[in-house]
Amino acid sequence: MAQNGRGNEAASYIIVFRTNSRPGNMPEFANAYGLQVTAEYHHVLNGVAAVVPAGRLRALQNDPRVAYVEADMEMSIQVQTTPTGLPRAFATSNTNIDIDGSDDFRVDVDVAVLDTGIDRQHPDLNVVGGIDCTSRQGCRAGTTGDDDHYHGTHVAGTIGALDNGIGVVGVAPGARLYAVKVLNRRGSGTTSGIIAGIDWVVAQGTIEVINMSLGGSGVSSAYRTAIDNAVAHGVVVVVAAGNSDANANNYSPAYVPSAITVSALADFNGLAGGGAAATCRADVDDTIADFSNWGSAIDIMAPGVCILSTYPIEEGSYGTISGTSMASPHVAGAAALLASRNNPNNAADVTNIRNTLVNNGNSNWSSAGDTDGIHEPLLDLGNSSVFNPVYVAGSGN
């Protein structure tokens, strides 16, 4: 991240102020440096995002009120090229998760999907709110976060598709979903827009889980501060490890310690033991996906290859893709099951949810092709006394 002070051309930066040093008159501060402020952060970051004119970066960095200035990085979806993931994580064998093809109960939890949005009209998704944070003005009131790509809708289905007898079913069936659009129709966005989305989620005060199936190379301090503060407010943040077959410690937000970082398992039949033939892409059954990032930043693994989930209606309603983007929402759904019964209010509560997920994971996958020597736990929802969510009535009641 550029903190070199050259400032040879106008560019977007995230400006973080020192504690108790936020300028009282933001327009005056912006005018002093010729800034075009594009977003203001109040809940998870003490700062703003702004376009800094050529030649003004060094002076801005030297302002005594400024802690640091970080280049606004481009982020993108973590997708590689369907639902076998649920039986592989033993969600379907846990009778307390109540996957029976009837929308009689829905998990009583709120989950924000920070992504390309969610198809608000999809009959298999319980979308209750949303917002668009992709503009240079931050999150825009009155917008819905509707999906003009497909990625966010796919992620949302893995988390919470309705158990209604059609299409697919999610890990936390019927969870209340919030479409926080931080990536555009090309699947790209910026750190500043994504942090604006995190800020919006925390401001709602009722959302227990965030899923972020996105990322980029480089280590962002602003990301870490924002996620740390979201966690401090009692929000579980689940992120994709990345798809570069590289060390996740060098990617944001995957490296952030307070987030739950998820790598991807290749599984083609929903069963342990390996040996299944590959389906939608070449890989080896029951091993770490050949694209998945790895390393000490990984907390847990989940199925992420050839995952069937929801698509926008105009894109065919359902589709199969692969990536750590598809692994992360399995874990976000699992976190949602736990959060429905033990609503997190602070960082300690979030840590308890993380530890429960990790400690209940199993080691029943092959280390073949796993070069980092770390055999991370594989998501396992089979313990019905632990994964015993709270429900509200569905449309089938």
Using DSSP's 3-state secondary structure scheme, residue 33 falls into helix
Task: Give the helix/strand (H/E) hosting 36.
Answer: strand 36-41
Alpha helices in the chain (DSSP H): 26-33, 57-61, 85-88, 151-160, 191-204, 221-232, 324-341, 347-359
d(CA 166, CA 164): 6
- The closest alpha carbon to 138, from 102, 176, 182, belongs to 182
Predicted structure pTM score = 0.91
CA angle 228, 91, 121 (to 5 degrees): 75
| pLDDT computed for residue 271 by the predictor | 94
Domains of the chain with CATH codes: 11-72 (3.30.70.80), 75-392 (3.40.50.200)
Task: Identify whether 325 is a catalytic site residue.
Answer: yes
- Tell me which of 325, 328, 340, 366 is the catalytic residue: 325
Q: Cβ distance 257 to 307 under 8 Å?
A: no
* Positive or negative torsion for Cα 253, 68, 134, 199: positive
- Each residue's pLDDT expressed in tens, for the chain with a length of 397 residues: 233 334 457 899 999 999 999 999 999 999 999 999 999 999 999 999 999 999 999 999 999 999 999 999 988 876 543 379 999 999 999 999 989 899 999 999 999 999 999 999 999 999 999 999 998 888 999 999 999 999 999 999 999 999 999 999 999 999 999 999 999 999 999 999 999 999 999 999 999 999 999 999 999 999 999 999 999 999 999 999 999 999 999 999 999 999 999 999 999 999 999 999 999 999 999 999 999 999 999 999 999 999 999 999 999 999 999 999 999 999 999 999 999 999 999 999 999 999 999 999 999 999 988 889 999 999 999 999 999 999 999 987 7
Backbone angles phi, psi at 95, to 5 degrees: -65, -20
**Which tokens sit at 234?**
């009692």
- Tell me which of 122, 151, 154, 233 is the catalytic residue: 151
| pLDDT computed for residue 133 by the predictor | 97
Task: Identify whether 115 is a catalytic site residue.
Answer: yes
d(CA 116, CA 151): 6
Long-range contacts: 201-206, Cβ < 8 Å, 24+? Answer: 201/112, 201/114, 201/230, 201/235, 202/43, 202/44, 202/229, 202/230, 202/233, 202/235, 203/42, 203/43, 204/178, 206/110
| pLDDT computed for residue 11 by the predictor | 92
**Which tokens sit at 23?**
């300028």
- Tell me which of 115, 124, 146, 349 is the catalytic residue: 115
**Which tokens sit at 227?**
């996620």
For the beta sheet containing 36-41, the strands, ordered from the edge strand earlier in sequence to the opposite edge, are: 36-41, 47-52, 11-17, 66-71
Q: Cβ distance 195 to 359 under 8 Å?
A: no
**Which tokens sit at 76?**
């993108």
DSSP secondary structure letters along 217-286: ES--HHHHHHHHHHHHTT-EEEEE--SSSSBGGGEETTT-TTSEEEEEEE-SSS-TTS-PPP-SS---TT
